[in-house]
Amino acid sequence: MSNPVSTSTNKRIAAAAALASAIAIPSEGLKLLPYYDPGGILTVCRGHTGPDVQPNQKLDLATCDQLLDADMREALQIVERCAPGLPVRVLAAFGDAVYNIGPTVACDVTKSTAARMLKAGQLEQACRQLPRWNKARVFGVLTELLGLTRRRALEMAVCLGDAL
């Protein structure tokens, strides 16, 4: 007999993965050849980074789809560990943010007001913190990026139940 708690969590993560991917796919675009993002990070496909990304190694669409699925599920599981039981829309929004910028936004209560609010169960307030995470280091300078501003606005709308 399956564990109803893990079945419920797995269903929430699956639903959140679909919603978060609907944010990530248009935000990231698709590049089959590795490139350096504005922050100087070697990236491929739909925002995949890591030691497996090699310059000049062309990937195919099926591989990119697999990478997005695995990376997004990992991001959602991170959020689930930091703030268990979030509604799907909140989990999806913060999952996409973690996929894009890392776990600090949702998990580090010493550096993120959003993480503190998630932990306290103040979900609307946590959602409204997402637009603050629209900067990246460009040539060592923290710079507001239009693409991040748009993405964080979409995440906030999803988080609040106003979009998708």
Residues acting as catalytic residues: 28, 37
Q: What's the gap between Cα 116 and its chain centre?
A: 18
Residue type at position 128:
R
The residue with tokens 């989990």 is 91
What are the residues whose beta carbons fall under 8 Å from the beta carbon of 143, sequence distance 6 or more? Answer: 38, 135, 136, 137
Q: Is 163 exposed, middle or buried (0-12, 13-18, 19+ CB in 10 A)?
A: middle
